[in-house]
Copies of this chain bind each other. A is one copy, B any other.
Amino acid sequence: MSEFAETTIRVRYVETDQMGVVHHGNYFTWFEAGRVDLCRHLGFEYKQMEIDDDSFIVVVEASCRYRLPAHFDDLLTVRTWITAAQRRIIHFGYEVMNQASGELLATGETTHVICDRRGRPKSLPEKYRKLFGVGAHEASPHPAGAHVSSRDGE
């Protein structure tokens, strides 16, 4: 059972392409905004994790399934949660919803390893293990339990 964070995204004009919808590459940057918000709501600032603990959450795999398009100026919710966490590897799940229609637009997953600033793999520092629920997750494709909300721009 996993907490999740919700991030509000307003679609930018630059994020559209000549098909008239959001370019698929942008979902990965929204997932990233979701991870940063999830960290904040788990109790720490990701930027400080890099600076204070020389620990970077480096993506090693990323995927997205697109169900319905997003359009310029839409308000979206990105829901982000941890699907599994071990000392050296963390898996995140994502859902992107249109706020007006409630429709699910896309789902995604990313896998990350912890690295130092030189890119060498390392274990997650002790103080983050409980926050990330290391060992405590049952891999789940869906978020569950209590949630926290935020806005990109809060």
Contacts and interface: CB of A to CB of B under 8 A. Distances in A.
B66 A60 contact: yes
A78 to B, nearest CB: 10
Interface stretch (A27-35, A87-95, A134-142): A27-35
Nearest to A28: B25
A65 B24 CA distance: 17
Contacts of A17: 13-14, 16-18
Contacts of A12: 29, 32-33, 152
What bracket does the count of chain A residues touching chain B fall in? 35 or more
Contacts of A64: 61-63
Contacts of A45: 73
A100 interface: no
B61 A63 contact: yes
B56 A61 contact: no
Interface string A3-26: 000011110111011111101111
12 contacts: A8-B153, A10-B153, A10-B154, A12-B29, A18-B18, A18-B19, A18-B21, A19-B58, A59-B66, A60-B66, A61-B63, A61-B66
Query: Lowest 9 CB-CB distances: which A-B pairs, in order?
Result: A63-B63, A151-B153, A16-B18, A8-B153, A153-B153, A152-B153, A25-B28, A14-B29, A47-B73
